[in-house]
Amino acid sequence: MVSSSTEGGANNMSHQPSSSFSSPDVQDPRRILGQSQMRARQIGVIALCVLLNALDGFDVLAISFASPGIATEWGIDRAALGLVLSMELIGMAVGSIWLGNLADRFGRRPVTLGCLVVMALGMWLATLATSVQSLSAFRLFTGLGIGGMLACTNIIVAEVANDRARSLSVAIMAAGYPVGAIAGGSFASYLLSQGDWRDVFLFGSIMTAICLPLAWFLLPESIGYLMQKRPANLLDRINKALSKLGHDSITAVAETTAEVKKISIGRLFGPDLLRITLLLTAAYFAHIMSFYFILKWIPKIVVDMGYAPSTAGGVLVWANVGSLTGALVLSYLSYRYPIKKLVTGTMVGSTLLIILFGMGQRDLTQLAFAAACAGFFTNAGVVGLYAIIAQSYPTEVRGGGTGFVIGIGRGGAALGPIIAGFLFTAGYGLQGVAIAMSLGSAIAAVALLALRPVKEQQS
């Protein structure tokens, strides 16, 4: 394959002088992006993806902010609440696989725009819910858009960034998730103190709708996707995308020298990609169970300690402050050290800190601190996995591969709150549940240890 996009990342420090691209002769535009210095407009697209991922962060956690009010209004127990908390996660699993594959077929840009429409509509529909069944259906629908958005933003950033900054850029994009949760949690706490849980979903719907025109005007189609599909107006579309990214136009597009392989899910299980697909899916599935145990159950744990529902949002915000800090620290370190070693160590830390979180805290301040520490390691692990996934698949299956790993992995996200809910209902205390849920991060560490370096997989 001509593109070098899967071989870059934090540790690829070599790049050709910019003068090699000064002549508008026949060129591969993927090399222009991969080996040139980052332009301001490329950074702008990455910033937009950070914002879109922040929407995901708020939309996913909206149900967590609202859960105490829902449980009180409808009188549902922890097991039933665990199912409601997981519905959008099930939708995310389907959306990541289905819409991630569509992004390979029809383009990253149109699928991203469609996901925004689904998210805005689903959040608004949640304000109309009158029962557990209707709310579950609306959250399932919303999850389709969120899952597709996660897959698309991961791909877009990986294909827009240059080789040197790819892992760093993907990690920063993933840091948008806790940013959305922090900002959204602050607003949610205020909304809950002034109104009821439906206001949280209304706020999310409005913010998502506002981002739709921004994405329409600022988001270019992926050059990697265009080079793979090679439409009849390829040169015009390539130059339009290059212009949006701050690069000069070219007069001719290089032909690909490698055979174009058929796009299908089966391609992910070919001899060159089978090992990496299975190990990354296992790692993501297991760790995301641990991650969502922390994020989904904090509000209910706070209320059960005797505090008002409006204070639960504050503890969840601190958990996401830790998440954001972990994402930023890992982003910085990924620019200097091997990403696989960083993420493996992070998974070990995640295991230990989830156990610490479950030891029981005497007051709200101690619980917030423990949640922040757990959030630091759990989200750093998620961010690191996104960076590894982004550089693990060739262009023609990057959407499908990313979508498959995230989508199947989202089964773990859905199972996490459900399993925790049943364990709580069965009489296990917070410590026992935390120990059980921490095992997901430990399994992820083992899977990453078995993962061979990405370059070896694709050489």
- Distance between CA 236 and CA 1 in Å, rounded? 22
So what's the pLDDT on residue 4? 35
Which secondary structure element, helix H or strand E, spans residue 26, and what is its range?
strand 26-27
Which residues have a Cβ under 8 Å from the Cβ of 54 and sit 6 or more positions away? 176, 177, 179, 180, 183
pLDDT of residue 20 exceeding 50, the answer is no
Torsion-angle region of residue 306: left (phi > 0), alpha (psi -120 to 50) or beta? left
* Class of the CATH-defined domain 29-458: mainly alpha
Scored b (16 or more CB within 10 A) or e, 207-217 reads bbbebeeebee
pLDDT digits (tens, 9 = 90+) for 45-85: 899 999 988 887 787 777 777 877 888 888 877 677 777 87
Q: What average pLDDT does range 142-154 have in this prediction?
A: 86
Please report, for residues 93, 165, 215, 239, 342, the alpha-carbon distance to residue 247 in angstroms, rounded to integers and kept in the order given.
Answer: 36, 17, 20, 9, 33
So what's the pLDDT on residue 459? 35
Other beta carbons within 10 Å of 459: 8
- Given the structure tokens 């609306």, which residue do they identify? 138
SS3 state of residue 15: coil
pLDDT digits (tens, 9 = 90+) for 344-390: 999 999 999 999 888 866 778 888 888 899 999 998 998 889 888 87
pLDDT band at residue 121 under the 50/70/90 scheme = very high
Q: Comparing 151 with 50, which gets the higher pLDDT?
A: 50
Chain Cα centroid distance, residue 361 = 30
So what's the pLDDT on residue 259? 44
So what's the pLDDT on residue 77? 74
Tokens of 399: 């959407």
- Given the structure tokens 């697209």, which residue do they identify? 45
pLDDT band at residue 128 under the 50/70/90 scheme = very high
- Distance between CA 459 and CA 442 in Å, rounded? 29
- Distance between CA 378 and CA 360 in Å, rounded? 19
Eight-state DSSP code of residue 270: S
The DSSP string of 84-100 is HHHHHHHHHHHHHHHHH
pLDDT of residue 122 exceeding 90, the answer is yes
Q: Comparing 266 with 431, which gets the higher pLDDT?
A: 431
The residue type at 435? I
So what's the pLDDT on residue 320? 80
So what's the pLDDT on residue 256? 57
So what's the pLDDT on residue 445? 94
Angle formed by the axes of helices 78-106 and 132-160, nearest 10°: 40
Tokens of 33: 């992006």
So what's the pLDDT on residue 444? 95
Q: What average pLDDT does range 242-260 have in this prediction?
A: 68
Q: Is 132 exposed, middle or buried (0-12, 13-18, 19+ CB in 10 A)?
A: middle
pLDDT band at residue 258 under the 50/70/90 scheme = very low
Other beta carbons within 10 Å of 427: 7
Cα angle 19, 25, 26 (rounded to 5 degrees) comes to: 115
- Distance between CA 348 and CA 378 in Å, rounded? 10
SS3 state of residue 256: coil
So what's the pLDDT on residue 264? 57
So what's the pLDDT on residue 116? 93
Other beta carbons within 10 Å of 454: 19
So what's the pLDDT on residue 347? 95
So what's the pLDDT on residue 263? 53
- Given the structure tokens 């991630």, which residue do they identify? 100
pLDDT band at residue 141 under the 50/70/90 scheme = very high
Q: Is the pTM of this model over 0.75?
A: no
Eight-state DSSP code of residue 263: P
Which residues have a Cβ under 8 Å from the Cβ of 441 and sit 6 or more positions away? 286, 287, 290, 347, 348, 350, 351, 354, 377, 378, 381
- Distance between CA 230 and CA 145 in Å, rounded? 27
CB 160 within 8 A of CB 245: yes
Average pLDDT taken over every residue of the chain: 79
CA-atom Rg of the chain in angstroms: 21
- Given the structure tokens 């026949």, which residue do they identify? 26
So what's the pLDDT on residue 96? 79
pLDDT digits (tens, 9 = 90+) for 259-287: 444 455 677 777 778 888 899 999 999 99
pLDDT band at residue 9 under the 50/70/90 scheme = very low
Phi, psi of 27, rounded to the nearest 5 degrees: -145, 160
Which secondary structure element, helix H or strand E, spans residue 253, and what is its range?
strand 252-253
pLDDT digits (tens, 9 = 90+) for 434-457: 899 999 999 999 999 988 754 434
Which residues have a Cβ under 8 Å from the Cβ of 304 and sit 6 or more positions away? none
Q: Which of 167, 151, 226, 153 is nearest to 391 (CA)?
A: 167
Please give the share of the chain, as a percent, with pLDDT higher than 70.
Answer: 88
Q: Which of 250, 248, 241, 235 is nearest to 219 (CA)?
A: 241
Q: Which of 406, 388, 375 is nearest to 64 (CA)?
A: 375
CB 377 within 8 A of CB 319: no
Please report, for residues 57, 111, 332, the alpha-carbon distance to residue 198 in angstroms, rounded to integers and kept in the order given.
Answer: 18, 28, 38
